[in-house]
Amino acid sequence: MVIQPLTVDLETADLLEEAGGETFRLCYQCGVCTGTCPWNLVKKFDIRRLIHQVRLGLVDFEDEDVWTCVSCKLCVDRCPQGVVMPNIVRALRRTVTELGIAKVPDSLRVTIKNVSAVGNPLGEPQEARADWARDLEIKTYTKGTEILYFPCCYQIYDPSARRVARAAVNILKKAGTDFGILHDNVVCCGESIRKAGNESVFQSLVQTNTNAFTEAGVEKIVVTSPHCYHTFKDEYPEFGGDFKVIHSIQYLLDLIKQGRLNLTKEVNKKVTYADSCCLGRYQDIYDEPREVLRSIPGLELVELPYNRENSICCGGCAGRLWMETKKGERFSDIRVEQALDVGASVLAVACPYCMANYEDSVLTTDKADVIEIKDILELVLDALD
């Protein structure tokens, strides 16, 4: 057998570097990333091999591995060379989406089209953006209002997820918080779209939201999605959108410590908490959710295996929420089973993507009669007078 030598494509490697994947040059192929990656709990995914292909400029852009990574950041935190794998994957996807050199998965392509056309991934009309709040008597944010409350698109358009946005509003009211919402001229934060590679659409969303926030005089934003939190806090400043951003869990804990929330009703349930990647590994927010849960009377908190910085992703980040994941390859199924194994009757979350995936797993594994998925906001509301 004659082994044919490969010709390195430096032009493609340079293109991926320019698209934001420059840390691939630091990689020395130790394989820690592949050994760490949670995908290898359910199937083979060799991220080390993919990065090696990037180094050589020999990527098969048609390969489904280009769309597999969930950007959970577990490998980044363990990489001895500081290689940022999610940025490399984003560069690969950006090359596909913006140069059209391969096919974007169908479901994700629809999502990108929805966000580009109407400003949200579900494809719902802009004029329906405030429907979730019509009976809640929330004022429109104006300059001088203390807080802009910004719920995730999923939480305001998906009927089953609206309960979390509504719980946040009821808690803010009970605490006497001066807050308002914007809906006519704001759009998706763009987190999934950027990680899916569509940089131009992302930057358009940033500009729309930044203009709306600035015109309204927004200084402080409370969000209920870790994805909004990460994007507003860490990515918008690059494009001029510099605002103080607080996740609802952080704000809840402050309200509890200030005595502005009276948690007196017992919630007699065994609860376990699934760390969100964007709230945990991206932001190092591990203690706050647990402190809030422990402040609820009657609640027993138990830990999942693989918790905190070692937590397993729900599988929804980096556009994966909008793509089909085969049965048997869903991280959320693993987490639901782990929650049952520790005896929990409630799997608590602080992220809409986590909620969507875990609720789907509860249904598809026929576990709805033994465990429920609840946002921490809902549990706090249950404990309030």
Residues 6+ apart with CB under 8 A from 384: 171, 174, 261, 262, 263, 264, 265
Alpha helices (H) in the chain, listed in sequence order? 10-16, 32-36, 47-56, 74-78, 85-99, 106-118, 153-157, 162-174, 191-195, 199-216, 226-230, 248-257, 287-294, 331-341, 352-364, 376-383
Are the CB atoms for 326 and 357 separated by under 8 Å? no
Q: What does the pLDDT read at residue 11? A: 86
The arithmetic mean of pLDDT across residues 201-227, rounded, is 97
Are the CB atoms for 285 and 307 separated by under 8 Å? no
Q: Residue 2 — very low, low, confident or very high, per pLDDT cuts 50/70/90?
A: low
Give this prediction's pTM. Answer: 0.94
Beta 220-223 vs 244-247: how paired, if at all?
Answer: parallel
Residue 5 has pLDDT above 60, yes or no: no
Amino acid at the residue 81: Q
Residue % of the chain over a pLDDT of 70: 98
For 136-183, what is each residue's pLDDT tens digit? 999 999 999 999 999 999 999 999 999 999 999 999 999 999 999 998
Are the CB atoms for 165 and 155 separated by under 8 Å? yes
Domain 262-383: CATH architecture, name and number where available? 3-Layer(aba) Sandwich (3.40)
Alpha helices (H) in 236-351, listed in sequence order? 248-257, 287-294, 331-341
What is the average pLDDT value for the chain, to the nearest integer? Answer: 94
Residue 355 has pLDDT above 90, yes or no: yes
Q: What does the pLDDT read at residue 100? A: 87
Question: What count of other Cβ atoms lies within 10 Å of the Cβ of residue 266?
Answer: 12
Q: What does the pLDDT read at residue 7? A: 67
Residues 6+ apart with CB under 8 A from 239: 203, 206, 207, 210
For 87-109, what is each residue's pLDDT tens digit? 999 999 999 988 888 999 998 99
Residue 334 has pLDDT above 60, yes or no: yes
For 10-48, what is each residue's pLDDT tens digit? 788 998 998 899 999 999 999 999 999 999 999 999 999
From 312, 377, 309, 378, select the one nearest 339 (Cα to Cα).
Answer: 312
Angle between helices 331-341 and 352-364 (to 10 degrees): 80
For 47-96, what is each residue's pLDDT tens digit? 999 999 999 999 999 999 999 999 999 999 999 999 999 999 999 999 99
Q: What does the pLDDT read at residue 98? A: 86
Residue 353 has pLDDT above 80, yes or no: yes
For 147-157, what is each residue's pLDDT tens digit? 999 999 999 99
Q: How far apart are CA 139 and CA 366, in angstroms?
A: 41
Topology of domain 106-253, CATH: Rossmann fold (3.40.50)
Q: Token pair of 25, please?
A: 């040059």
CATH 3.40.50.10700 residue spans of the chain: 262-383
Residue 6 has pLDDT above 80, yes or no: no
Residue 221 has pLDDT above 70, yes or no: yes
The three-point CA angle 176-178-183 to 5° equals 125
Angle between helices 248-257 and 376-383 (to 10 degrees): 30
Q: How far apart are CA 283 and CA 225, in angstroms?
A: 12
Q: What does the pLDDT read at residue 293? A: 98
The arithmetic mean of pLDDT across residues 254-275, rounded, is 97
At residue 229, the 3 state secondary structure works out as helix
